[in-house]
Amino acid sequence: MPDRYAAALPDLLDWISQTLDVFTGEKHPVTAFHLKRLPHFFPTKILNTSSVVITTDPPKPPLSSLGLSEFAAFEQQPISGITYLDTYFVTPNAANDESVHFHELVHVVQWKVLRPEEFLLMYAAGLAEYGYLDSPLERMAYDHQARFDSGDPPYAVDIEATVQTLELRKKYFG
């Protein structure tokens, strides 16, 4: 993992903190969306403590300006959702899409397991090595989302994602 990823962490964490502060008044608990299937896949605690912000332009970190120009394509990529800690941002078109909420909640679990520094370092390394869709943390979220979308019976997503995230952590951090 390049040292410059670690060097960018303080500024990136500050940007995330400021971004979350800016949107504090616009946060809604996941439960406010009355999504019918999510409670069968995620514990009530996660649904009650995770927040959603609806915005036409989900905020992406200014990675290029932090010296990480290899992520310029990621910064320009259109997205329907993005997660920071226990808060995720979705576009108005995605606000009632239970599948998008599901995907972002997998990221909430990953953030909790790894904590911010490791999540960001692992995400950056995976993005650089594999690209967006095949980066390990995204691949995990998309795989779980595909199971959800296909109508798989409910399962403890938080437990499975925790185990998978801890396995990935060993790969990246030993």
**If DSSP codes are grouped into helix, strand and coil, which group holds residue 99?**
helix
Q: In what order do the strands lie in the sheet with 87-90?
A: 28-29, 51-54, 87-90, 81-84
Domain boundaries, the chain: 3-173
Record the tokens describing residue 32, joined without a space: 């406010």
The whole-angstrom separation of Cα 162 and Cα 43 is 13
Residues 6+ away with beta carbon under 8 Å from 136: 122, 126, 130, 168, 171
Record the tokens describing residue 9, joined without a space: 């962490």
pLDDT at residue 174, as a whole number? 87
pLDDT at residue 2, as a whole number? 74
pLDDT at residue 173, as a whole number? 92
pLDDT tens digits, the chain, 174 residues: what are they?
679 899 999 999 999 999 999 999 999 999 999 999 999 999 999 999 999 999 999 999 999 999 999 999 999 999 999 999 999 999 999 999 999 999 999 999 999 999 999 999 999 999 999 999 999 999 999 999 999 999 999 999 999 999 999 999 999 998
